[in-house]
Amino acid sequence: MVIRPQLEALADLCLIRLSELFPGHSIITVDREDFRIYRRNKREVIPVICPPPD
């Protein structure tokens, strides 16, 4: 399944917003590289749970 880049960005933005609304929760993702850069509330690191690298 191929997802267009605009939809990927929208999905990431939705997860970032959810992390702002529910700061006590982590995001589970396989997109380690992007979520290492993203911040919530302008400067807070978003806690993520990723599978171990291969």
Cβ proximity of 44 and 26 under 8 Å: no
Q: What is the predicted pLDDT for the residue at 3?
A: 56
Any domain includes 16: yes
* Alpha carbons 30 and 21: distance in angstroms, whole number: 21
Any domain includes 54: no
Q: What is the predicted pLDDT for the residue at 5?
A: 67
52 φ/ψ angles, rounded to the nearest 5 degrees = -65, 145
Any domain includes 42: yes
Domain containing residue 32 = 5-49
Any domain includes 19: yes
Q: What is the predicted pLDDT for the residue at 4?
A: 64
pTM: 0.78
How many structural domains are present in the chain? 1
Per-residue pLDDT of 1-54, as tens digits, reads: 555 667 778 889 999 999 999 999 999 999 888 899 999 998 999 999 999 887
